[in-house]
Structure 1
Amino acid sequence: MGRSRTTTRRPQLDPLAVEGFDEGVADDLAPSADLEGAAFHDLTADSLSLAGARLREALLDRVNVAVLRAPRVTLRDVRIEGSRIGSADLYDSEWDSVLVSGCKLSFVNLRGTRLRDVVFSDCVIDELDLVEATVLRVSFVRCTIARLDLQHASASHLDLRGAELREIVGVTALRGVTISPLQLSLLAPIIADSLGIVVEDEPTGPDWSGVEKPRRPPGP
């Protein structure tokens, strides 16, 4: 039997030569920073601000931050690995060729963000906010998402088959999203409720099949 075919396009991640990156320090991660070819390891902070920063060909490894404020940040060819982030405000950002792997993320605000060729792998995410986001070739691999908000999002090749989903908000924005047959069965009650569909068992009682239908009154 041949392999099943899929029309869902996978993210295309550019290879990174991280072994040649310069070792960055915490002070480099600042608002409006312009960083390229830098690696950051074992950083811990109560809060971190990267508002308007640009990171290109960068590695963030084992970064533990309680509050990350990074609206309008640009991430291009970035890897975020083995990190723990509490609240991450990343709205109105640009993500291109980004891999987030082995991370614990409590709240991720990506409202209005443009994501292209992004992979979340082996991540636990409490809440992922993609309201009004534009998503192209984004996939989740062995991830758990407690709450996913897709209201008014525009998605194309958003692959959720590798995610354990517990709650979805904005099911009317699921156009362009790929899910598995099992996920469809689990999401059916949520979809029905969102669309106002009443799902009830067939009523039990007398068999009405033999009852004569009311006749129309004669015409004039």
Structure 2
Amino acid sequence: MTNRRTAPPTRSPRLSPVRLEGLTAGDALDIESGAHLDGFELDALTLDSIELASANLSECRLASITAIDVDLAGARISDSVIERWNVPVLAARRSTWRDVEVRDSRIGSAEFYGSEVRSVLFENCKLGFVNLRGATFTDIRFVDCTIDELDLGQATVSRLAFERTSVDQIELAGATLEHTDLRGARLAVVNGVDRLRGTIVTPEQLSLLAPLIAANLGIDVDD
């Protein structure tokens, strides 16, 4: 009798809604590198640049932010909501994100490389180039988003899911994927198909990926 090895079921991202109460209204004067903001609400700010490198933001709501660039390099953001951002450049390299919701935002270039991003919801966002090289990306859900390019090269990914989200290009070279559900993603270009182990796809997606997988394995397909 043949023993068939079945793959373990894909685990969904573990996310809890962020609930914020009793926030203190802040303004542009509260924004500075290394700031410690706990329970603040920053709303309707238009600035050339926002400098929050190495800041610590906990239980904050940052809404209706318009800036040419936002610097969150090395920052720690937890239990917070980011919504209605219009930011061409988000520099968040080597930052830490835990229990964060990012909603209704337009972000051109998002630099998350080397970061730890855990329990984050992206909903109704338009994202350009999202750089997660070398990042740890755990319990993440993209809902109703459009992404031009998602770079997961060398990243460690676990419990990632997409719903009604289009991804023009995804880079997987050197990535380690676990419990990654691609079924809700409309994928155009996939680089690094040899790293797809640990993902789940639809039959339609598999038919689109088949030529890339065959080429990667050195298989010639001919009638």
Q: Is 1:63 aligned to 2:85, yes or no?
A: yes
- Output the amino acid matched with 2:20: V
Contact map agreement 1:156 1:177 (CA 8 A) in 2: yes
Q: Give the gaps of 5 or more residues in structure 2.
A: 1-7, 33-50
1:82 and 2:104 are equivalent in the alignment:
yes
1:162 aligned partner: 184
Q: TM-score, normalised by structure 2?
A: 0.84
Change (3 A) 1:142 1:24: farther
Q: How far apart are residue 14 of structure 1 and its match?
A: 2.3
Contact map agreement 1:39 1:59 (CA 8 A) in 2: yes
1:132 aligns with 2:150: no
**Helix, strand or coil at the partner of 2:119:** strand
CA 1:87 to 1:198, structure 2 compared with 1: closer, same or farther past 3 Å? Answer: same
| 1:31 aligned partner | 53
User: Which residue, 8, 12, 32 being the options, matches 2:14?
Assistant: 12
CA contact (8 A) 1:59 1:78 kept: yes
Verify the 8 A CA contact 1:11 1:139 in the aligned structure 2: yes
User: Shift in Å at residue 115 of structure 1?
Assistant: 1.1
Q: Once structures 1 and 2 are overlaid, which stretch shifts more, 189-198 or 66-75?
A: 189-198
Question: One-letter code of the match for 2:161?
Answer: S
What is the rounded CA distance, in whole Å, between the counterparts of 1:189 and 1:182 in structure 2? Answer: 13
Please list the CA deviations of residues 4-52 of structure 1 after superposition, one character each: whole Å capped at 9, or x if unmatched.
xx81110111232134444554526600000101001100111111100
CA distance in 2, matches of 1:19, 1:57: 12
Q: Alpha carbons of 1:133 and 1:200: their partners in 2 closer, same or farther (altered >3 Å)?
A: same
Secondary structure in structure 1 of the residue aligned to 2:13: coil
- Report the Cα distance in structure 2 between the residues aligned to 1:189 and 1:36, rounded to whole angstroms: 46
Which residue does the alignment assign to 1:152? Answer: 174
Q: Could you say if the C-alpha distance between residues 196 and 20 of structure 1 is closer, same or farther in structure 2, counting changes exceeding 3 Å?
A: farther
Letter paired with 1:57: D
Larger of the two Rg values belongs to structure: 1
156-165 vs 182-191, which moves further: 182-191
Where 1:167 maps in the other structure, the secondary structure is: strand
Give 5+ residue unaligned stretches, structure 1. Answer: 1-5, 202-220
Cα 1:168–1:135, aligned 2, differ >3 Å: closer, same or farther?
same
TM-score, length basis structure 1: 0.85
172 and 37 in structure 1: CA distance in 2 versus 1, 3 angstrom threshold: same
In 2, Cα distance between the equivalents of 1:9 and 1:188? Answer: 24
Q: Which of the residues 185, 198, 206 maps onto 2:207?
A: 185
Across the aligned residues of Structure 1 and Structure 2, the Cα RMSD in angstroms comes to 1.4
Q: In the TM superposition, what whole-angstrom CA distance separates every residue of 1:81-116 from its partner, at most 9, and x where no partner exists?
A: 000010111100011110000000010000011011
Q: How many corresponding residue pairs?
A: 196
Q: Give yes or no for contact 2:18–2:81 (8 Å, CA) kept in 1.
A: no
User: Equivalent residue of 1:193, what SS?
Assistant: helix
Give distance in 1, aligned partners of 2:141 and 2:26: 24
Question: Residue 3 of structure 1 aligns with which residue?
Answer: none
**CA distance in structure 2 between the partners assigned to 1:138 and 1:25 by the alignment:** 34
